[in-house]
Structure 1
């Protein structure tokens, strides 16, 4: 028996060593320019041991060889092609999308909410679900959701404009997460909540827990996805998963029984029942799609709003100009703001776009699905033929900060987006990605941000406080936040537009 245990240990050890080291010399074997790395941890040692933020790490990689169109690096044990050339990027994301149609996403995990959603789906299933959900984000649907968003934004701004002076230094990320929670609850799940007044509601508490999935466990699953599946390792607790599924199940049952129709995502998924040739979405599928919008809104959108607020507060000239635009449009509209009017805010739109340039997704990822030839990385190099399963990273943050593409790239300058279409569909500006796989909810997110900022800046003034970090240094322990968070001072405007103020007072009295 003892000999069998020894033999088994040798076999397991041999297989483990082969698994961990099989790709270690991948780039050297193929004569591809690459960044030196160490076994197992790859090029990410400094990130894993939290000596550098992920943002600074990607920028460091990007500048490894400024003349190369691409080069290799290792994300732990996985070889990654890091792309620098805009033409190659556009080719992969747009022109040759069929060769790179998928992300890795969370497809290797055991969490249904993470595996079965649009972000992680592959192949035909992704195409089916994308086609199903796309009608959720047409202009007509956005117009209906605008009303739901406005209610959440008014509740949020009213709360902030009435808090006591002692509490007006705030962690803005926490506050904006409550707003985005309320929006996604009403627009995706059909639930009305007010997380500023009730921060202990389950939707907010469980939503925050579900988005806090990046840590040692996620790193383990990145290195050992097969072991994660074998031992059924999950990033999201079962009670959180069951909570979201129960919401979907209960909502559908209630609407069917009482013939309720509501302009939200659940309604759209309900409406296609019995109308499609392919298999319709079951409860797990519906929960996964609704969850990914919750995940994106709670984390990505709230972070974007936090960065916008930070830039507005630390650039007083920008804030004055924005308030002037808000007040002027309020005068012209007699204090009423509709879906059409909110889209007339040109300077607000430019502020958001410039913020998304400064603080986009750190990287975009695509997985090769069919043979594709990369041109030579340098004039004296040879082309490289990518094969199925190989992965590319597009360093969006680093490209957005490259002086080759943007004048004075570190400066917040919204004017660069006024009356300019030069960045439309440009591979040098991709806050929502590019091509068929770009964020399906980008218009939803932009509207969500605009509605909130309008109501907030119409009522309040944002100022730096003692805890405000300027310039920003990114945290080494989280994906993309300042080291000490997003702290600002929020004060009620003393010069609030009188027409708008009168409209607010009437609304409060009527409610």
Structure 2
């Protein structure tokens, strides 16, 4: 079975237990089931569970990015990068993302034909994800739909695909980290890591020489240079943090959009309501697609939130940093002392599909998130984690998804096709959540598409804010 289904099976092993133990090959793991206990671990007692297990690597790109860092260095970099994701920074990056989304939607809506209207949407959405990461994190404008062989896209897929291409290396590095270091095992080829490092180095040198300023992540890291009480980042640090966008955003963003598109296609009532909402907002805003416009789409927001519930990550992982007493797993049992170094898993997907917390959890129902604040900051809804170590880029990811779906649904209609798998099944070949036979859909250009969207003048709405 898939890893997702396996974890769910373990979660349902004893519905009355707050937690229980299992082994991940040779590593003992505690699987936590109780929301109060989960909140205690992720939030109230974060100092005791501050880190992920991660990898012990000789690779700066992976070892030095925010996902892998630990202790004080993680805190320093997290504090620095948090400024990248404020509302003001999101408004600045909105323009960059929108240009990518318009390019993507225009290309798709004008290039499809009756013979070529069925496609695996995951590959298409991967190109969009690469484009927004390239422009917002690395300061490079690319169009991977028109130029799918560009080095950024090719190397981007390569460096984020190591979970699929190097499963044996991953097992060795997770279970026998010292052996991995002795053998100098690497997950990313040097030519790919050198490519991204050279991009950062060249971009910084060019901006310094020509006094160029751009609303992206590199600029933020450059701007702290010379400021008091701020730790400067060297080229390797900057490259690692920019790469964190790839590591944390490329696969998750493209896969989430693919799952949203699948649910929109197989639920015509959802698609109809979304199109009506988008068309109404376009009319009311005189076709000016702004940051505020996108954030007024309440039903689109609910559809994305429901997708993140329905297709949540399999687990969150934390390492115990000091002895910690768990309450009894079952009534009448004794407390359990977690020792330093022990690992706990939080089964997010299984919790999101537990009828104890969600009515009719196996039904895709976006309405559950309309005017409902009960899931906010809840241990029963954790698509981006919870507590100080929750995903720092969650607002960036959601904004990128909203912008693309807005422009895509304004121009195109999504339908199931002969290759669409119903019901959708999870792949047994990957630890990551993905569809077993791909995300095949039929794409049709909307016959009622608004004329302004059909014209090239759409780009003029961004002209005042081009960089």
| Cα distance in structure 2, aligned partners of 1:496 and 1:394 | 44
Match for residue 80 of structure 1 among 17, 20, 29: 29
Match for residue 250 of structure 1 among 181, 191, 202: 202
1:316-339 CA deviation, whole Å, 9 max, x = no partner? 000000000000011101111100
Structure 2 residue matching 1:71: 3-state secondary structure: strand
1:363-382 CA deviation, whole Å, 9 max, x = no partner? 00111112211000001211
Match for residue 439 of structure 2 among 486, 502, 505: 486
1:164-183 CA deviation, whole Å, 9 max, x = no partner? 32211111010000001000
1:218-249 CA deviation, whole Å, 9 max, x = no partner? 12222211110011100111111111111111
| Cα distance in structure 2, aligned partners of 1:499 and 1:246 | 40
Structure 2 residue matching 1:194: 3-state secondary structure: coil
Structure 2 residue matching 1:166: 3-state secondary structure: coil
Q: TM-score with structure 2 length normalisation? A: 0.96
> For the Cα contact (< 8 Å) 1:372–1:385, is it kept in 2?
yes
Structure 1 residue matching 2:115: 3-state secondary structure: helix
**Residue 112 of structure 1: CA displacement?**
1.1
**Residue 497 of structure 1: CA displacement?**
2.7
Structure 1 residue matching 2:82: 3-state secondary structure: helix
Alignment of 1:153 with 2:101, yes or no, is yes
Corresponding residue for 2:161?
A: 212
Q: What value does the CA root-mean-square deviation take over the aligned residues?
A: 1.5
Number of residue-to-residue matches in the alignment: 458
> For the Cα contact (< 8 Å) 1:468–1:488, is it kept in 2?
yes
| Cα distance in structure 1, aligned partners of 2:441 and 2:393 | 28
**Residue 280 of structure 1: CA displacement?**
1.6
After superposition, where does 1:239-278 map in structure 2 within 5 Å? 239-277=191-229
- Structure having the higher Rg: 1
**Residue 505 of structure 1: CA displacement?**
6.0
> For the Cα contact (< 8 Å) 1:187–1:264, is it kept in 2?
yes
Match for residue 430 of structure 1 among 350, 373, 382: 382
Structure 1 residue matching 2:262: 3-state secondary structure: helix
Give unpaired runs (5+ residues) of structure 2. none
Structure 1 residue matching 2:31: 3-state secondary structure: strand
TM-aligned CA distance change 1:272 to 1:166, over 3 Å: same
| Cα distance in structure 2, aligned partners of 1:413 and 1:461 | 20
**Residue 295 of structure 1: CA displacement?**
2.2
Corresponding residue for 1:359?
A: 311
Which stretch of the first structure deviates more once superposed, 461-470 or 268-277? 268-277
Alignment of 1:113 with 2:61, yes or no, is yes
TM-aligned CA distance change 1:503 to 1:201, over 3 Å: closer
Corresponding residue for 1:17?
A: none
1:399-458 CA deviation, whole Å, 9 max, x = no partner? 000011101101100000001101001100000001111100110001000000000000
Which gives a bigger RCO, structure 1 or 2 (Cα 8 Å, sep 6+)? Answer: 2
